[in-house]
Amino acid sequence: MVLTYRYRIKDATCGRHLRRQAREVNRVWNYCGEIHNAARRHNKRWPSGFDLIKLTGGSSKLLGLHSDTVQAVCKQFAISRDTCGKRPRWRGRKSLGWIPFQASRALRVQGDAVTFLGRRYRLWLSRPLEGRMLCGAFGEDARGRWYLNLQVEILEDDKHGSGEIGIDLGLKSLVAISTGEKIEAPRLYRKHERALAIAQRAGRKPRVRAIHARITNRRKHFLHELSTRLVRENRRICVGNVNSCGLARTSLAKSVLDAGWSLLRSQLRYKATRHGAEYIEVDERFSTQVCSACAARGGPQGREGLVVRERVCSGCGARHDRDINSAINLLVSGRNVGLQQTVIPSVYGGEDVKPTDLQPQTSYHGRS
Q: What is the DSSP string of 134-147?
A: EEEEEEE-TTS-EE
pLDDT of residue 368: 32
Same domain, 124 and 168: no
- 275-291 mean pLDDT: 85
pLDDT band (50, 70, 90) for residue 12: confident
pLDDT over 60 at 339, yes or no = no
Give the separation between CA 270 and CA 273, rounded to whole angstroms: 5
pLDDT over 90 at 73, yes or no = yes
Same domain, 200 and 325: yes
Among candidate residues 153, 176, 194, the one where a domain is terminated: 153
Among candidate residues 153, 186, 214, the one where a domain is terminated: 153
Same domain, 198 and 94: no
Query: 10 Å Cβ neighbour count for 294?
Result: 14
Q: Are strands 107-110 and 146-153 parallel, antiparallel or unpaired?
A: unpaired
- 291-310 mean pLDDT: 72
pLDDT of residue 11: 81
pLDDT of residue 244: 86
Domain carrying residue 41: 2-153
Give the separation between CA 114 and CA 134, rounded to whole angstroms: 15
Q: Is residue 320, in this structure, part of any structural domain at all? A: yes
Structural domain count, the chain: 2
Q: Is residue 363, in this structure, part of any structural domain at all? A: no
Same domain, 327 and 266: yes
Same domain, 182 and 223: yes
Q: Is residue 223, in this structure, part of any structural domain at all? A: yes
- 280-298 mean pLDDT: 81
Burial 4-13 (b: 16+ CB within 10 A, else e): ebebebeeee
Give the separation between CA 89 and CA 331, rounded to whole angstroms: 42
pTM over 0.75: yes
Beta bridge partners of 175: 169, 183
pLDDT over 70 at 269, yes or no = yes
Percent of the chain with pLDDT over 70: 89
The CA R_g of the chain, rounded to the nearest whole Å, is 25
Same domain, 41 and 171: no
| DSSP for residue 155 | -
Starting at the edge strand found earlier in the chain, the sheet holding 113-116 runs: 98-101, 132-140, 146-153, 2-9, 119-124, 113-116, 107-110
Contact 185, 171 (CB under 8 A): yes
Non-local (6+) Cβ contacts of 228 within 8 A are 271
pLDDT band (50, 70, 90) for residue 362: very low
Same domain, 123 and 193: no
Q: Is residue 51, in this structure, part of any structural domain at all? A: yes
Q: Is residue 158, in this structure, part of any structural domain at all? A: no
Contact 342, 180 (CB under 8 A): no
pLDDT over 90 at 249, yes or no = no
pLDDT of residue 307: 67
Burial 115-137 (b: 16+ CB within 10 A, else e): ebeeeebebeeeeebebebebbb
Same domain, 247 and 340: yes
Same domain, 131 and 251: no
- 258-278 mean pLDDT: 91
Nearest to 286 by CA among 353, 198, 205: 353
Same domain, 291 and 229: yes
pLDDT over 90 at 126, yes or no = no
Burial 43-80 (b: 16+ CB within 10 A, else e): eeeebebebbbeebeeebeebebbbbbbbbbbbbbbee
Same domain, 73 and 187: no
Give the separation between CA 199 and CA 135, rounded to whole angstroms: 39
Q: Is residue 347, in this structure, part of any structural domain at all? A: yes
Same domain, 17 and 78: yes
- Residue type, position 200, single letter: Q
Q: Is residue 365, in this structure, part of any structural domain at all? A: no
3 state DSSP class of 262: helix
Q: Is residue 364, in this structure, part of any structural domain at all? A: no
pLDDT band (50, 70, 90) for residue 349: very low
pLDDT, one tens digit per residue, over 128-183 is 888 888 889 999 999 999 999 999 988 877 777 788 999 999 888 899 998 989 99
Among candidate residues 102, 130, 153, the one where a domain is terminated: 153
Length of the chain in terms of residues written? 368
